[in-house]
Amino acid sequence: MRIVVAPDSFKESMTAVQAARAMAVGVRDALPTCLIDQVPVSDGGEGFAEAVTAAWDASWQEVTTVDALGRPRTAGFGRDSDRAVIDLASSVGLEHILPGERDVMRSSTIGLGHVIASAVDAGARSLLIGLGGSASNDMGLGMLVALGARCLDERGGEVEPVPTEFSRIRRIEVEPARRRLEGVSITVAGDVTNPLTGSHGAAAVFGPQKGLTGSAITWIDGEMMRLAAVLGLSHWACRPGTGAAGGTAFALAAVLGAELAIGIDHLARVVGLRERLEEADLLLTGRGPSMGSPWTARRSAECSAWPASAGCPPSSSPDGSGSMSRLSSVCVIWGPRTSSRSPILQRHWRPLSDRARVICAGRLRTPCVTVLLVMTGSSHTLNDVL
């Protein structure tokens, strides 16, 4: 029996790679002789670069950078020949800022810009950048500044690229950043379809989870629209996907010419999930819900569609030997909403492993049943859930 373990990250609890390892432990406990194929799949947020690096069998290079508040931290990127994979979350992600320290008005994406520059300096000419889990709402200006751009006031003085200083910005010189990445192709990966501004924009939808309130949301939204006009790129503000990561997708696409590849299907292709499902009997997947984003209906449907996209309909039956000739079940583990990564192993690793074990043990008795399990993170037992 071959089981594909392909979870997304469990927001602010564990990365997709860590979740896959935990689930694999549970699978191995229940089915010691089965083959386990770990295929971490990230939506572009935390753990994305790590997951793709593993799928590419690439090397990981660490980078000294800063977090969203400008404090030193170590991030990195995966490099395979002239291509590199980066995720915003590893440098300027919300997960690195304690709840009491979060200040979106003074946060920026400068740290992401440093990682991008390091990847290009290392020889990368094709960048895959995952966006998700951001702590900022600076519409990517910090990233552009780190790459050489300048935000200027009415007298030509430089302005810090953070929301609290937006009203002082009268001109933005982006050509140095464009020259810095000349000859480099960029693909942005993520599953956010929100535009930069408006009632469904970056500030309105994702601002509250970063600490923004009503009046601040309205102000930032207006300033982002004004700054898009300053750049001569107002027509980009309403385009789907440009609101990802506090508007960082806007800067990457509108200013730097990146391609926006939105959706889990693209991310699944990056890690070769379709090909690996073709020989699988069972797909075990799951993730933690995103704050302010209903996950279960959308992502459960997407996960359930993966077998069909690989030519493996969920209704397939066991062959005469009792083993599965085609993928027949999709099991989804839905994680708890959480605001703390610590202690990660004690709080989340074992519950996830236990649920994977019980799913696989039950899988032998009811091989053609699609199972949806809710990982409550509480004292509820699996019998309570089922």
pLDDT for the residue 156: 96
Rounded to whole angstroms, what are the CA distances from 150 to 144, 170, 231, 245?
8, 11, 12, 21
DSSP letter for each residue of 218-277: HHHHHHHHHHHHHTT-GGGTTSTTTTHHHHHHHIIIIIT--EEEESHHHHHHHTTHHHHH
Question: Angle, to 10 degrees, between the axis of helix 350-363 and the axis of helix 16-30?
Answer: 50
Q: Phi, psi at residue 149, to the nearest 5°?
A: -70, 165
Q: Phi, psi at residue 168, to the nearest 5°?
A: -85, -15
Strands lying side by side in the sheet with 2-5: 35-38, 2-5, 282-287, 329-334, 371-374
pLDDT for the residue 303: 54
Which residue has better confidence, 322 or 98? 98
- Can you read off the two tokens belonging to residue 30? 């229940």
For 182-235, write each residue's pLDDT tens digit.
999 999 998 789 999 999 999 999 999 898 988 999 999 999 999 999 999 999
d(C-alpha 149, C-alpha 325), whole Å: 56
Q: Phi, psi at residue 62, to the nearest 5°?
A: -80, 150
Q: Phi, psi at residue 93, to the nearest 5°?
A: -75, 155
d(C-alpha 351, C-alpha 347), whole Å: 7
pTM, two decimals, is: 0.78
For 114-136, write each residue's pLDDT tens digit.
999 999 999 999 999 999 889 99
Mean pLDDT of the chain: 80
Per-residue burial over 314-341, b = 16 or more CB atoms within 10 Å of its CB, e = otherwise = bebeeeeeeebebbbbbbbbbbbebeeb
- Can you read off the two tokens belonging to residue 234? 């107002």
